[in-house]
Structure 1
Amino acid sequence: MTAASLKEVLKPAMEEHRAVAGLVVLGWEDARAYVEAAEETGIPIILQAGPGCRAHTPVPIMGKMFRHLADQASVPIVCHIDHGYSVQDCLEGIDSGFTSVMFDGSKLPISENIDITARIVETAHAAGVSVEGEVGLVGYAEGASSANTLPEEAARYNNESGATALAISVGNVHLKTEKTSGINFGALKAIEEVTTLPLVLHGGSGIPVNIRKRLARESSVSKFNIGTELRMAFGNALRKSLTDNQDSFDRIRLLSPTIDAVKSVTIEVIRALNGKPE
């Protein structure tokens, strides 16, 4: 199966009242675990290379790795640049084989955010690549505070940017290790009333599973970014492997147990968003 664009997986998800998981990749083991989970369940996923991943491994290398996994999969796999903060970040992703890029202009004035997104969209769409944008600022658990998405700005972005999907801020927070019920459903409804694009919630690990299910079923939220809970599964499995193999210095042997552990958690995540029982 050829790697899919974001549009190819989000449009059907929105129409069918389900959502797709954007899974944060940091290396080979977790990327492989995510794709194995997608294969086992038959559910499409989005492999995401965020700023941390890109700082650790060059984008062209990540692009080849993502495409290698996606092109051999039997289910649609999107290869996505997450939180591109510049035009160059997005263009490098397009040139490196990614099928989707996110331009994060959430800290910019709305007019500038729209203008830059539209420029990226022109190049991306010519290459068959989708573009995700963000309006409103999603904060961090121990960092910058959030700024909720204003419906009037979301409406402008929806109508003028040409983007495929819109990430919004309605109480979701990045890097939450504990789940909270902080989603502002009224704010989400106000955004839905003036937009037609599939909506995206970053910080999905902080949203309780029952709320994710509800949002996937009842709202325009069609993509949840999931990272922290998967990193926790990886870390716990690695600590156990180090304890169980104290005489080993073979990184392959030490890291291998993390694949099944991350895969197991991923299956639960993507089945819940897809409306299938865990």
Structure 2
Amino acid sequence: MLVNMVEILKEANKNNKAVPGFNVFGYEDAKAVIEAAEELEAPVILMSNKDAVEYMDVKCYSALFGAMAKEAKVPVCVHLDHAKDIELIKRAIEAGYTSVMYDGSKYDFETNVKNTKEAVDLAKPKGVSVEAEIGSVAYTSSGPDVESIYTDPMEAKLFAEKTGIDAMAVSIGTVHRMEVQGAKIQYDRLKEIEKITDVPLVLHGSSGVVDEDLYKLATEHNLAKVNIGTALRMVFGNILREEVNNKPEEFDRLKFFVRPTEEVKKVALNKFKLLGW
């Protein structure tokens, strides 16, 4: 069933679990994570990241993922991840996304609040949930986003109150696109945020978090949504490369996709279990 994030995050928080938000890029990986969710009777979030929506229009993703969500036996949210401009959010809402994230982390606090409120005002009347980010989770790639800006607890409190968002991404030591699990979680910072806010929290960059920390964050803290992307891309790409190299006479791409899809499901199942399911 197709849903927004609000109820599934509240329910997960209440039961000391977190809902995985998987960055998916097509039918194969979306199918794999939905099958994993159905096997565990868990909700799931299908996310389109910035690379995905630069490659293919949100209307196409919404049509595909929305149809798959409606047929699923579990709640499935279709979410736009890290939108940095309001026009893209408008297009996603019009296309049928049930949830959006406005990422104003590059702006000062007041500008981030102003733009996030605009996203909320667009989304809420349509029944679309909104996530936003306070602080900034860096990327492993070089460039202006290398440095993380860790979330200030008091700013997080004010940001949630001023914007009316449904979920808040915080920066507590993770980094986007980490290929090795080596993130140092700032538990003291997280506890301070949790003390003074009640909005469900979101962890970005979870592929770099060791399994023990991921389980602890999901089951003992107010992290209701955990984003997962690199872990799926790595297994899909690595297995696909093996298939191509091992089958030089094959040319049917559908046959190449069978094993990568199966392996993505295995990774998704493991992530679900680490998040308390």
* Contact map agreement 1:26 1:52 (CA 8 A) in 2: no
Does structure 1 retain, via aligned residues, the 8 Å contact 2:175–2:183? Answer: no
State the shift of 1:256 in Å.
2.2
Match of 1:69 in 2: 68
Q: Helix, strand or coil: the match of 2:168?
A: strand
Confirm or deny: 8 A CA contact 1:181 1:211 kept in the other structure.
Answer: no
Other-structure match for 1:99: 98
Partner of 1:262: 264
Deviation of 1:211 after TM superposition, in Å, equals: 0.6
Structure 1 stretches of at least 4 aligned residues deviating more than 4 Å after TM superposition:
none
Q: How big is the shift at 1:181?
A: 4.4
Name structure 2 gaps, 5 residues minimum: none
Aligned residue in 1 for 2:159: 157
**Partner residue, 1:49:** 48
Where do residues 111-260 of structure 1 align in structure 2 (5 Å cutoff)?
Answer: 111-143=110-142, 144-260=146-262
2-structure distance, mates of 1:258, 1:96: 29
Q: What is the CA–CA distance in structure 1 between the aligned matches of 2:68 and 2:55, rounded to whole Å?
A: 19
Q: In 2, Cα distance between the equivalents of 1:131 and 1:259? A: 30
The question of whether the paired residues in 1 share the 8 Å contact of 2:113 and 2:162 is answered with: yes
2:257 partner SS: helix
- Name the residue aligned to 1:22: 21
CA distance in structure 2 between the aligned counterparts of 1:132 and 1:246, rounded to whole angstroms: 45
SS at match of 2:131: strand
Displacement after TM superposition at 1:241 (Å): 1.2
Paired residues in the alignment total: 274
Q: Which digits, 9 at most, give the CA deviation of each residue in 1:179-204, with x for residues without a partner? A: 12400001111111121100001001
Q: Who is 2:8 aligned against?
A: 9
Report the residue type matching 1:133 in the other structure. A
Task: Provide the rounded CA distance (Å) in 2 between the counterparts of 1:170 and 1:253.
Answer: 41
Give how far 1:257 is off.
Answer: 1.9
Note if contact 1:238-1:255 (Cα within 8 Å) is conserved in structure 2: yes
| Partner SS state of residue 196, structure 2 | coil
* Unmatched runs of 5 consecutive residues or more in structure 1: none
Deviation at residue 158 of structure 1 after TM alignment: 1.1
What is the alpha-carbon distance in structure 2 between the residues aligned to residue 109 and residue 186 of structure 1? 24
- Superposition CA RMSD, Å: 1.0
TM-score calculated relative to the size of structure 1: 0.96
- For residue 153 of structure 1, report the CA deviation from its aligned partner: 1.1
